[in-house]
Amino acid sequence: MNKLLAIAAAILLFQSAPATAHRLDEFLQATLLSVEPGKLEASMRLVPGVAVSSAVVAGMDIDGDGALSEAEQQAYAQRVLKDLFVEIDNQPVALHLVFASFPTLEEMRQGIGEIQLNLEADLPQGSAGRRLIFENHHQSNIAVYLVNCLVPRNKDIRITAQSRNEDQSFYQLDYVQGAVRSGPAALPGFSGLAAAFRLGVHHIAGGADHLLFLLALLLPAPLLMCNGRWGRCATIPRSLVQILRIVTAFTVGHSLTLALATYGLASLPSRPVEVLIAVSVLVSAIHAIRPLFPGREAVIAAIFGLVHGLAFATALGDLAAGQWYGLVTILGFNLGIEAMQLSVVIAILPSLLLMSRTHAYPLLRVGSALLVTIVCAQWIVERLLNAHEVVSPVVEGIGRHAAWIAAGLFLLSLLCWLGFWQRGCATRPSLPWRYRSVGDRSRQKTIRGEAPCSLRAYP
């Protein structure tokens, strides 16, 4: 392993914990992985805290003589190896020890002793799109884990996605391996498409601002405007058409700039893009409270989708290098984004349609939009000042329970629908093309996306 690169990455990984600090009540275990053709290298740093050092030392100093012999060091290193699990493309691989360095027992008791282990594993040949699993279960009752991956030195290897569980004892790395050549012969197969698809799913799942923008636009989608305000609910066919238009317009917008930016035909610095994305979510949230552009949600979704596409291109990075490879990669990435967006819409759509037919919906719509507004205001300030983000970790933490939230929202909407059936809804869908030659004012309002306020409500 390139030692300078490993040291630099380790410094970045531990910049919040200086080497002179005395660790307290945990056994810190950090792992840096490096993927190369046919080989996996792992560098581990293990630092027992003061409160747990006695238990760790007792497990190392088997003969109790107050010093670690070479045999005791090797025995402990092998115990660590037994608690590690590595898998590549569903095939387990064995790590073996290359180098081990141990501090004195006294340093470990003071919380400043650092055990260093360098490990290697031979990786079998596989397809272009590969998935690596790394698990660390050593001393899990007292340990905290960190894991990351170095940028591959080999240009034929490109990282496409990373994911971890909450305590980072489980780490998944997706990468594409293989030289990229120009011409049809270099067209990647299903594995490259699948890797890009997973990257798209992972990016949109972790992109709270992208999802909040879409959800904020969907909040008023089941409603019609009346006298400049969101009023009675629309029919289900009209609501479904409106939601389909919004999602499709957003897809077209971000797909266009994603393709242009990937090939260097459109670009903006990352900070203005992130600020504009926060602004787009803010505008959508305000629109959910009070109509700003009724009937034009699809147009706004397409316009702001252009901005979101620039952020997607940044996430895609150099993975789409090369003409033919780029086309397939963009396709897979876009399909992953759309699959995740569609999953979110399907999960929340029944709740929105049910709740919009109750008197409880204004509270949900306005309350949700106000929360999103507060989050967006904080995002804008943080991104303008390039400050440390405080809101994003909270939003992402809530997002981890999205399935439970969606289930709870559906149950709540069902209960409200059973108890608040009296809310007025339009008796027929808005069909603007039927009324273009009619001079009746109420029907003209329908053309502009405003509900005729005299429509008879459902009982």
E strand map for 165-271: 170-177, 223-226, 229-233
* Residues 37-44, mean pLDDT to the nearest whole number: 92
Over residues 244-294, the pLDDT tens digits come to 888 888 888 888 888 787 677 777 777 788 888 889 999 999 998 988 888
Query: Stretch 85-114: mean pLDDT, rounded?
Result: 89
Residue type, position 90, single letter: N
Helix (H, G, I), strand (E, B) or coil at 40: strand
Nearest-CA neighbor of 99 among 45, 57, 149, 153? 45
Residue 445 has pLDDT above 50, yes or no: no
For residues 352-357, average pLDDT: 85
What is the pLDDT at residue 314? 64
**CB-side neighbour CA atoms (13 Å) of 296:** 10
Burial zone of 192 (CB within 10 Å; 0-12 exposed, 13-18 middle, 19+ buried): buried
DSSP class of 318 = G
User: In 3D, which of 123, 69, 133 has the Cα closest to residue 93?
Assistant: 123
Question: 373-411 pLDDT, tens per residue?
Answer: 998 888 888 888 877 667 777 777 777 777 888 888 889
For residue 241, the surrounding DSSP H or E stretch is helix 236-262
What's the pLDDT score for residue 35?
92
**What backbone torsions phi and psi does residue 252 show, to the nearest 5 degrees?**
-60, -45
How many other CB atoms are there within 10 angstroms of residue 377's CB atom?
14
pLDDT at 171: 93
The secondary structure element, H or E, covering residue 211 is helix 208-218
Least confident of 131-140, 152-161, 443-452: 443-452
Q: b vs e for 310-337, b when ≥16 Cβ sit within 10 Å of the residue's Cβ?
A: bbbbbbbeebbebebbbbbbbbbbbbbb
- Quickly list H helices, 66-189: 70-82, 105-109
At 430, the amino acid letter reads S
Enter the tokens of residue 69.
């012999």
Q: Once rounded to an integer, what is the mean pLDDT over residues 308-324? A: 60
pLDDT band at 79 (very low <50, low <70, confident <90, very high): very high
Q: How large is the average pLDDT for residues 120-127? A: 87
Selected residue with higher pLDDT from 1 and 232: 232
C-alpha–C-alpha distance, residues 204 and 201, integer Å: 6
Predicted TM-score (pTM) of the model is: 0.54
Q: What percentage of residues in the chain have a pLDDT greater than 90?
A: 17
pLDDT at residue 74 greater than cutoff 70: yes
* pLDDT on residue 414: 85
Taking phi over 0 as left and psi of -120 to 50 as alpha, with beta for the rest, 341 belongs to: alpha
Q: What is the mean pLDDT of residues 61-65?
A: 83
For range 144-164, the mean pLDDT: 86
Percent of the chain with pLDDT over 70: 76
Q: Is the pLDDT of residue 99 over 80?
A: yes
| Confidence band of 16 (pLDDT split at 50, 70, 90) | very low
* Residue 135 exposure: Cα atoms within 13 Å on the Cβ side: 11
3-state secondary structure (DSSP) of residue 417: helix
98: phi then psi, degrees, rounded to nearest 5 = -105, -40
Counting beta carbons within 10 angstroms of the beta carbon of residue 218, is it exposed (0 to 12), middle (13 to 18) or buried (19 or more)?
Answer: buried
Q: Output 86 or 186, whichever has higher pLDDT.
A: 86
pLDDT in tens, 177-229: 864 443 343 444 455 567 677 777 777 776 778 888 888 888 888 887 777 78
